[in-house]
Amino acid sequence: MSDLRELYQAVILDHNKRPRNFGTLDEATHEAHGHNPLCGDMIRLQLSLDDADVVQGIAFDGEGCAISKASASVMTETLKGRDRTDAEALFQRFHDLVTGKGGDTDALGKLAVFAGVSEFPIRVKCATLAWHTLRAALADATTPVSTE
C-alpha cells in the first residue's frame, strides 16, 4: 500500500508542477468558473463539445492548491474523447472515491490517485472543485460554482 501511496503522490506532484491542458481554448462551447472559499482555489474551465457531445477540447486555468490543480489536470486529461454521459458517470465515481464511499477504482484509471483524499475531509472540496465546475459548464450555468 505504501508503494502505491508514493506512486499516487508522485502523480499528483507531477500534475501540480506541470498541469496538462492549462490555459484557454480558442473556441469553447461551454465554460464555467468555480471557487472553493475554504481553501481559496479558483478555476475557469472551458470545453469544446462536438455535435455528438464528445469532448474535443478542454482547458482550465486559475489559482489553487496542489490538490485542486492536479485534480483539474488529471480530469481534463481523462475527459478528452469522452462524451457527456461518461463525464457524468465519472463525476459520480470520483465523488464516491474521494468521499470514501469506495466504488470501482478500475473504472477510474488515473483518477484513482486521489483515493487518499478521503482521509482528509478538508481536501475533498479541493479535489472535487474541477468536477463541480465541469458539471456547471455542461449545464451552461451562468453563475459561478462555489463549494460552500
Tell me which residues touch Zn ion (CB under 5 A).
39, 41, 65, 68, 126
Report how far residue 147's alpha carbon sits from residue 133's, in angstroms, rounded to the nearest whole number.
Answer: 9
* Residue among 19 and 49 whose Cβ is closer to Zn ion: 19
Q: Are 35 and 144 in contact (CB under 8 A)?
A: yes
The candidate with the shortest Cα–Cα distance to 65, out of 15, 20, 111, is 15
Minimum gap (Å) between residue 108 Cβ and Zn ion = 20
Least spacing, CB of residue 118 vs Zn ion, in Å: 15
Q: How far is the CB of 132 from Zn ion (least distance, A)?
A: 13
HSE-up of 135 (CA within 13 Å, CB side)? Answer: 14
Which of 31/41 has CB closer to Zn ion? 41
Q: Smaller CB distance to Zn ion: residue 25 or 45?
A: 45
Q: How far apart are CA 115 and CA 107, in angstroms?
A: 13
Q: How far is the CB of 33 from Zn ion (least distance, A)?
A: 15
Euclidean distance between CA atoms 91 and 95, whole angstroms: 6
